[in-house]
A and B are shown apart, each in its own frame.
Chain A
Amino acid sequence: MTATAVGTRILAALAEVRDPELDEPITALGFVASAAVTDDGVAEVHLRLPTYFCAPNFAYLMVADAYDQVSALGFATTVILDDHFASDAINEGVAARAGFARSFDGEAVGELDELRADFLRKAVLAGTDAVCRPLAGFPLATMTIGDVPASPALARLKRRRRDLGLPCDDSAPLLIDPRTGDPIGADAVPLHLRKARLTRTSLDANTGICRGMLRHRYDTDGQGEDAR
């Protein structure tokens, strides 16, 4: 395989890693500084973030997920987070497969599964706005996922619901409480949609700020950033 083809495979794997807070691929966000295979066959990935002080828990998840995705391709893998106050703890912790609590000994009491799930729930709410906004006027409370025409937004919403173990097949209600999975009653639909829109607005605004800060910090495109 050529070096270019290998690079493409690695970037494709990294595109499966999302910023758990922004719910966007780290490639599209410009977080992949470099991804290449060294002469001795090690896949080496460098990640970068918008600030030196980005939250260490989300940073850890991205580095660990990037490691998992790339090593699943069969490479010996090194993932290095550059220019971050917790770079050493994160890089060493991920390399040692130590988990978050051990990587930040004494500073964390548990792993990050619940944090990740909280943000998947936000992604479900935000995705609900993306899917339902064009459906104004339809009886959303009685509709199922299968009633909605296929679209990238719908496919994404279904994946997020699946990741959380929430109903996501065609017969599942379109509107559900992302915490319990219960359907949303007709009376509660307007407020549910308001919350969905607000959550999407918040995610979009945060993503906008992060992109602007990253652009200020680094004047180069990230690897795979234009593949969006």
Chain B
Amino acid sequence: MYEKDGEKYFVVDSHMHYWNAGPDNWVPGAEQYAKGWIECFHAYQGLGPPETHWPIEKFMSYTEDDLMKDVFQDGYVDVAIFQPTYLTEWYREGFNTTEKNAALGAKHPGKFIANTRFDPRDGDDGLKKLEENVARYGSIGVKLYTAEWNNGSRGWTLKDPAAYRYLEKAQELGIKNIHVHKGPTIWPLDKDAFDVSDVDHAATDFPQLNFIVEHVGLPRIEDFCFMATQEPNVYAGLSVVIGGLMHARPKFFAKVMGELLFWVGEDKMTFGSDYGIWEPKWQIEGFVDWDYPGDEFSDYPRVTTATKKKILGLNAAKLYGIEVPKEYQLDAGEGAPAARDDAVGVSSGSPAASLG
């Protein structure tokens, strides 16, 4: 929890990791991909304040102690949600798996929620594995990475019939939240791999599931926003937006936040630090202090203390059924966190509702 100027913020870090990307975990023959992947992540860290940068060696293999200190002791986080990324073609034991995450979670009861994942290309075995993971780790969320390489395939979309089979199974198993992350490859390679229109289809066809589009669809923020206005069950995961822009590009950060508040709305935006890419501490402190820098942003929706409380924790707490102590909840009249029908574009009176 974080306190500033007498205001109390309950913090849910809805998108973070515990990975091992060190050379000891690289798949022989795929070293260049394993190395390229973690170096790419490390470059993202370079967008944060210089005093928060780590050397690549630590970045590849930070420890449990690092994580507990950075996220909970120094980082104000009340509950952290692990989002796994397997990448087993490049990392022998996986980059960050449900199993590794849950093992850490088991040592610190109440601190973590372990999401799992699926890959529709894994067929019946994958369905069985999903069921086992849900039973074993109590997952109610999954992280999907559509650009993952799998046996010669460079990716998949949520429109694939196989993906629908998995979504049906996930729903049947009690999964509520689908975190979607787009990457640079997909089959076929001549299509735009970052396209989010498949999320639109799935969100329409699975209205009981929540779809949290991580990194707000970056680099397709515009397509994401147009889609999110029309789908009451689509949310904006802010990882990378705060970490990658707030410090490095403050003016663009203000514009992106303004657009998200207009198109998606403050009830449907969730904070995620993307740890170990960025530590949560500076992101939370900076965001609580943040406002638009000047008059040129006057036609964007205003940002209030309630806005920040929802984004930093209350919205994700609602999506995950996390109990929030009374003194951290909003007062009456400050809105309903994670309300599906409160998105700006969904009300029929909004200009965004008429988007084709």
**Chain A residues within CB distance 8 Å of chain B:** 21, 50-57, 85, 100-101, 104, 107-112, 115, 118, 122, 190-191, 194-195, 197-199, 201-202, 204-206, 208-209, 212-213, 215-217
Q: Which residues of B contact A216 (CB under 8 A)?
A: 42-43, 46-47
A52 & B220 in contact (Cβ 8 Å cutoff): no
Q: Which residues of A contact B110 (CB under 8 A)?
A: none
B192 & A107 in contact (Cβ 8 Å cutoff): no
Q: Which residues of A contact B187 (CB under 8 A)?
A: 107
How far is it, in angstroms, between the C-alpha of A104 and the C-alpha of B221 when the chains are bound?
A: 28
Q: Which residues of A contact B219 (CB under 8 A)?
A: 21, 202, 205-206, 209
User: CB < 8 Å: which of A54, A108, A215 contacts B190?
Assistant: A108
Extra contacts besides A55-B194, A85-B36, A206-B221 (5): CB < 8 Å:
A108-B189, A108-B190, A115-B192, A198-B225, A205-B218
Tell me the B220-237 residues at the A interface (CB within 8 Å): 220-222, 225-226
Residue of B nearest to A50 (CB): B43
How many residue pairs link A and B with beta carbons under 8 A? The number is: 132
Query: Can you sample 27 A-B contacts with CB below 8 Å?
Result: A51-B36, A55-B185, A57-B191, A57-B193, A85-B33, A100-B190, A104-B189, A104-B190, A107-B189, A108-B188, A190-B351, A191-B355, A198-B225, A198-B259, A201-B221, A201-B259, A202-B259, A205-B245, A205-B252, A205-B256, A209-B240, A209-B248, A212-B43, A213-B44, A215-B46, A216-B43, A217-B43
Q: Which residues of A contact B240 (CB under 8 A)?
A: 209
How far is it, in angstroms, between the C-alpha of A52 and the C-alpha of B42 when the chains are bound?
A: 12
Cβ of B255 within 8 Å of any chain A Cβ, yes or no, is yes
A204 & B252 in contact (Cβ 8 Å cutoff): yes
Residue of B nearest to A55 (CB): B184
A201 & B256 in contact (Cβ 8 Å cutoff): yes
Asked, given contacts A56-B184, A206-B218, whether A212 binds B249 with beta carbons under 8 Å apart, the answer is yes
Number of interface residues of B (CB under 8 A): 46
A115 & B191 in contact (Cβ 8 Å cutoff): yes
Q: Which residues of A contact B40 (CB under 8 A)?
A: 51-53, 213
Give B251-274 as 1s and 0s: 1 = Cβ < 8 Å from A's Cβ atoms.
011011001001100000000000
Nearest chain B CB to A19's CB is how many angstroms away?
A: 11
A208 & B263 in contact (Cβ 8 Å cutoff): no
Asked, given contacts A50-B43, A107-B154, A198-B222, whether A209 binds B190 with beta carbons under 8 Å apart, the answer is no
Q: Which residues of B contact A54 (CB under 8 A)?
A: 184
A115 & B218 in contact (Cβ 8 Å cutoff): no
B351 & A194 in contact (Cβ 8 Å cutoff): yes
Candidate in B32, B47, B218 with the most chain A CB atoms within 10 angstroms:
B47
Nearest chain B CB to A146's CB is how many angstroms away?
A: 29
Q: Which residues of B contact A104 (CB under 8 A)?
A: 189-190
Asked, given contacts A198-B222, A198-B225, A202-B219, whether A191 binds B351 with beta carbons under 8 Å apart, the answer is yes
User: CB < 8 Å: which of A109, A191, A209, A217 contacts B352?
Assistant: A191
How far is it, in angstroms, between the C-alpha of A95 and the C-alpha of B214 when the chains are bound?
A: 37
Q: Which residues of B contact A206 (CB under 8 A)?
A: 218-219, 221
Residue of A nearest to B147 (CB): A53
Cβ of B313 within 8 Å of any chain A Cβ, yes or no, is no
Q: Which residues of A contact B36 (CB under 8 A)?
A: 51-53, 85
User: CB < 8 Å: which of A190, A201, A213 contacts B255?
Assistant: A201
Nearest chain B CB to A213's CB is how many angstroms away?
A: 4
Nearest chain B CB to A118's CB is how many angstroms away?
A: 7
How far is it, in angstroms, between the C-alpha of A201 and the C-alpha of B37 when the chains are bound?
A: 27
Nearest chain A CB to B256's CB is how many angstroms away?
A: 5
Nearest chain A CB to B321's CB is how many angstroms away?
A: 33
User: CB < 8 Å: which of B189, B218, B244 contacts A57?
Assistant: B189
How far is it, in angstroms, between the C-alpha of A85 and the C-alpha of B39 when the chains are bound?
A: 13
Q: Which residues of A contact B33 (CB under 8 A)?
A: 85
Nearest chain A CB to B162's CB is how many angstroms away?
A: 18
Cβ of B150 within 8 Å of any chain A Cβ, yes or no, is no
Cβ of B354 within 8 Å of any chain A Cβ, yes or no, is yes
Residue of B nearest to A56 (CB): B189
Nearest chain A CB to B99's CB is how many angstroms away?
A: 25
How far is it, in angstroms, between the C-alpha of A213 and the C-alpha of B42 when the chains are bound?
A: 9
A204 & B47 in contact (Cβ 8 Å cutoff): no
Give B176-214 as 1s and 0s: 1 = Cβ < 8 Å from A's Cβ atoms.
000000011101111111100000000000000000000
Q: Which residues of A contact B190 (CB under 8 A)?
A: 57, 100-101, 104, 108-112, 115
User: CB < 8 Å: which of B184, B192, B248, B351 contacts A208?
Assistant: B248
Residue of B nearest to A119 (CB): B192
